[in-house]
Amino acid sequence: MQDKKKSQKLYIITALGVAVLLILQFVLHLMTPFMRDDLWYATNLVTGEKISSIGDIIESQVWHYFNWGGRSINHALLQAVLASGETGAAILNTLAALILGFAICFAAKVKNPLFYLLAEACIITFNASIFFSMFWESGSVNYLYSSSWILFYMAIVLKTLDSDLVSSSSEKSNISEILKCIWIIPLSLIAGWSTENMGPSCFVLTVFAIVFLLIKKKKVPFFLFEGALFTLLGSVLMILAPGNFVRNQFVEKTDLVTLINSRIDSFLLSNCEFLFPTFFFAIIILCIQIFVYKNVKIRDMALFTFAVMAECAMMLSPAYPQRASFGIMCVLIAYIISALNKILSDKNKYVNAVCIIGTSSMFIFAVTKILTDILYRPY
């Protein structure tokens, strides 16, 4: 009976905490008008007229693909969101933040409601560019929205690495397997066709899962091969879009030495500034797992390695704006929550205290950060 009451209290605390964060975010969304790239993407890129139909979006993205860039999935969604108006976009963005918290917990495979509140708070607290990754419309769709479907895809792949589930996979019904083989196609395609570092990382993660299962002499689900194929296809379609090469003509050319130095500088800057808090916490927890508990689950190692791999891939990018660290941050948050869930699973008397203090601290930081944006509006 007492356990049931404690569980109910946790759900109430989580609901209230998440509601506060989402309401504050919604207010800031309403205060943020469409600006910069939003004003361009709100129109048919061919005719210059305001978006009024799906046909306008398709026409725009065909032009965009061949003349400006390959993020067709993200920018098609962006144009649809912009077409809903500023209030409609504010509602959709708030829902996107809600879904992203679920996606992080799904990838981390945790059910404790307190961890969901922790995930929502960490998205704000660890964010290197809260405005340009969540409240500026063009940034929110490219990072806030896309991180959700990337994490959902990762969760499906990581699930195959769980030994208890892998061993029973042969017992699943044929209908379930067929359905999974169908819906994994669009999910893996948009995961690969997301951003230039996260898409290829999804492909590498899928290949790793296939190799891992083969080494363990486990059955490899057919949908993993589909996932590998379509994440690769999505990444290729995005990276090799003719528009990328057209846009590169407007980038100032530099010599090789300067180019390498700038890439290294931006990479070091991201790790020493943009992602430092998230990597700092993640590395501490990884050290605890290795040296104290001497046990790192394959899911946790895969999440941490994915984040490192996606970060290293940014060295290939000509620029590394703060907002581009958002997706990597979300994967690291998923790792932190997954690892904490296992570390604190021994149910000692300090568990609740640690969870509540840690979550409360992150929640306070998140609320303070949003209020600062609302009150001072530095953008």
pLDDT tens, the chain, 379 aa long: 556 676 788 888 889 999 999 999 999 999 999 999 999 999 999 999 999 999 999 999 999 999 999 999 999 999 999 999 999 999 999 999 999 999 999 999 998 888 999 999 999 999 988 999 999 999 999 999 999 999 999 999 999 988 655 444 445 567 878 888 999 999 999 999 999 899 999 999 999 999 999 999 998 999 999 999 999 999 999 999 999 988 777 665 665 566 666 667 766 766 677 888 899 999 999 998 898 888 888 999 999 999 999 988 887 777 778 888 999 999 999 999 999 888 876 555 565 666 677 778 888 888 888 888 766 665 5
CA–CA separation, 367 vs 175, rounded Å?
46
Residue 334 near residue 123 (C-beta atoms within 8 A): no
- Cα–Cα distances in angstroms (integers) from residue 63 to residues 60, 66, 179, 221, 374, in the given order: 5, 5, 34, 38, 37
pTM, two decimal places: 0.92
Q: Which residue range forms the structural domain that includes residue 354?
A: 2-376
Q: Which residues pair with 227 in a beta bridge?
A: none
Count the domains in the chain. 1
Nearest to 270 by CA among 232, 313, 224, 320: 320
Q: Which two tokens stand for residue 88?
A: 């409609």
Nearest to 136 by CA among 318, 275, 323: 323
Nearest to 148 by CA among 90, 104, 117: 104
